[in-house]
Structure formats: structure tokens, C-alpha cells
Chain A
Amino acid sequence: MKRWLPLVLFLVLVGFFAKGLFLNPREVPSPFIGRTAPAFTLPVVGNAGAPFSPADMKGKIWMLNIWAPWCVSCRQEHGFLMQLAQSGRIPIVGLNWKDADREAQALLARTGSPYVAVPDDLDGRVGIDYGVTGTPETYIIDRQGIVRLKHVGPIGPDVWQTKFEPTLKELGA
């Protein structure tokens, strides 16, 4: 038994390191899960007269997608978001993070918009309030305005099925 002890300790260490090797360092646990989504009021892209606020979505389960015209992985998920919007599964609000109204407007005109509203967070303050570290990031917010899910990185069919659908089912959507 005593002879095997170093080997056992070594294997335990290897176990820890192997686990650490496959963790995603970008997957920072969000402190917002289960908390009320921070309030904000921002002008909407292409329609400066009508501001958007999360309170407008009360009573609905909705998705807040943080994106930007300069963001490459946002283009990657754009096709899937379009499908999602067409299926009517969930309304998507697209927060335009740190880019000009004009750029976002031009891009959405060219590629089509999956969003029901595009609030314009030019200086990135609202992004900071949501703990955004980069684009794309996506939140599911429930009928009471509480954050239920945060996803970092582009959404595709796989992520949708394994991560988003279970959350939506839990919320009864």
C-alpha cells in the first residue's frame, strides 16, 4: 500500500490538471443569474425618437443579444438568429455595443435584422452594467425581468438545443 501512495497522489494531480485543461477560461460565471436585469434606457438604432428599456419587455420571456457591426463571430450566429426570429420562438433584442448607429443600421439593412429592437450602447456603459466582456453574449430574461441564462460566444443549433431550450422549457415557454 505504502509503495503505491506516490503513484496514487500523482494520478490525483493528473486528474485535477486534466480537468483544468478542458475548462473554458472564457466561461466566467455571471453574477447576474437569478438577479433582476439591470435597467437602462437607450435610443434605438434608426429611430432616435423611441428609446428602449428592459421594462418594455415585462411579461415576456426574451433574449438580449449583445452584438456589434465589427464583431466577426456575431456574423457567424446571425443566420441562426434569423431562423430563430422567423420561427417566433422568442423575441430577440440586439444591444449594439460600442459602435455607431449608422454602422449598425447599414449592416442590418444589408443582412436583415433578427431583432425586435436594437438599443444603441455607444459608450459601452450598459454593457458594463451587464458584465459584458466581449461580443457576442446572450441573456435569457424571464417574465419578471430576472436573468436566467448567460451565454458567451456565438449561438448555433447545438448550443441552442443543449443550453437555451432547457432553460426555456423550465420557464414554461
Chain B
Amino acid sequence: MKPGRIKPALLAILLAVSLSAQARDAAPQAALPSTDDPVIEQRLVNLAEDLRCLVCQNESLAGSRAALAEDLRREIRTQMMAGKNDREVVAYLTERYGDFVLYRPPFKPVTWLLWLGPVLFLGIGGGAWYLTLRRRRDVQAVPLDEKKRAAAAQLLEEK
């Protein structure tokens, strides 16, 4: 790619990224009927973004229009207005729906492989890389005798 061509491409990418970011922010607010308290509404949106809608499983609880999601938001809102903190609300949900409602699985023995897997694979890959490099360093260049040198020269000549 020529240097002059990079700028429009970069701009396009930046535009796409900023547009998608806006779309992500706008969706949940549209789906949430608001109460009088903007602080609670903001907390609700923030929390529900990280929670899974149990009906349409790839949507967050904040963005979903499923009836159950609406009920759960109402429940969360009620609990927040009753003075419960985010952790207590999340505990309320996991008690009923399991860790499956959380988009960020907690760090515990069952999920150790999930969280530490990338580090493990990085270690394995890094180790393999190091070994390969070391082996390559140890390889001695084989000196060519006259015959091989002539053959090489002839091959180069043919090209």
C-alpha cells in the first residue's frame, strides 16, 4: 500500500469504530424505561451491561427487550432503590441463575483454566520459541568443498 492510501483507510476504520461505539451506548438506554433517579438508572445500565439476558443468550440484560429481561431490570431497580449495592444485586442473580448470568465469569477452581489458559499457552509458545532459537544458534555452518561450490556457482549461473 502506498503511504497516501493509508489515511483514508485509517479514517474509515476510526469512523466505523466510533459509530459502533455509539450504537452500543444508545441501545440499552432506548430499551430502558427510566425512573426519577438518574443515579440509579446509570448504575442499572452499567451493571446490566455485564449481565446476560437468559432468554436471548447473546444479548446483555441492558439491551434486551425480552419480557424476562424487563422483569429482571425491574427487580434490580427495586433492589437498588432499597439501598442494595451492586455486589448484593449480582449475588441475588447468581443465586437464582448461576454464574451463567455473568459475562465475566468469577475466578474460582472451575474457571482457573479459563482465566489462566492464555498465560499457559503463552508460556508453552514462548518455551517452544526459545528452544527453537537456541537450537538454531547451535547449528554450525557447513563449509563447502570445491565440488559443491562449483555446483552452486553453476546453479546461480543458470538463473
By a CB distance below 8 angstroms, the chain A residues around B75 are 125, 128
Whole-angstrom CA separation of A26 from B52 in the bound complex: 13
List CB contacts (< 8 Å) of B79-137 with chain A.
94-98, 100
State whether the Cβ of A129 lies closer than 8 Å to any Cβ in chain B: yes
**Stretch with Cβ within 8 A of A (4 or more), from B11-19, B35-43, B66-74:** B66-74
By a CB distance below 8 angstroms, the chain A residues around B67 are 98, 124
- Closest CB of chain B to A121's CB: distance in Å? 11
A131 in contact with B97 (CB, 8 Å): yes
* Other-chain residue from A29, A31, A124, A129 in contact with B68 (beta carbon distance below 8 A): A124
List CB contacts (< 8 Å) of A95-147 with chain B.
98, 123-125, 127-134
* Other-chain residue from A25, A30, A130 in contact with B98 (beta carbon distance below 8 A): A30
Interface residues of B (CB under 8 A from A): 54-55, 57, 67-68, 71-72, 75, 94-98, 100
State whether the Cβ of A28 lies closer than 8 Å to any Cβ in chain B: yes
* Other-chain residue from B57, B96, B98 in contact with A128 (beta carbon distance below 8 A): B96
B57 in contact with A25 (CB, 8 Å): yes
A31 in contact with B71 (CB, 8 Å): no
Selected A-B contacts with CB under 8 Å, 21 pairs? A28-B54, A28-B97, A29-B98, A29-B100, A31-B94, A31-B96, A31-B97, A98-B71, A123-B71, A124-B67, A124-B68, A124-B71, A125-B75, A127-B71, A128-B75, A129-B96, A131-B96, A133-B68, A133-B97, A134-B54, A134-B55
- Closest CB of chain A to B110's CB: distance in Å? 11
Q: A25-B57, A28-B54, A133-B55 are in contact. Are A128 and B71 (CB under 8 A)?
A: yes
Whole-angstrom CA separation of A124 from B55 in the bound complex: 14
By a CB distance below 8 angstroms, the chain A residues around B97 are 28, 31, 131, 133
Q: A124-B68, A128-B71, A128-B72 are in contact. Are A31 and B95 (CB under 8 A)?
A: yes
Which chain B residue shows the least CB distance to A130? B96
- Closest CB of chain A to B95's CB: distance in Å? 7
A134 in contact with B68 (CB, 8 Å): yes
Counting chain B CB atoms within 10 Å of each CB, the highest count among A123, A127, A128, A132 belongs to: A128
- Closest CB of chain A to B59's CB: distance in Å? 13
Whole-angstrom CA separation of A31 from B54 in the bound complex: 14
A1-38 vs B, Cβ < 8 Å mask (1 yes, 0 no)? 00000000000000000000000010011110000000
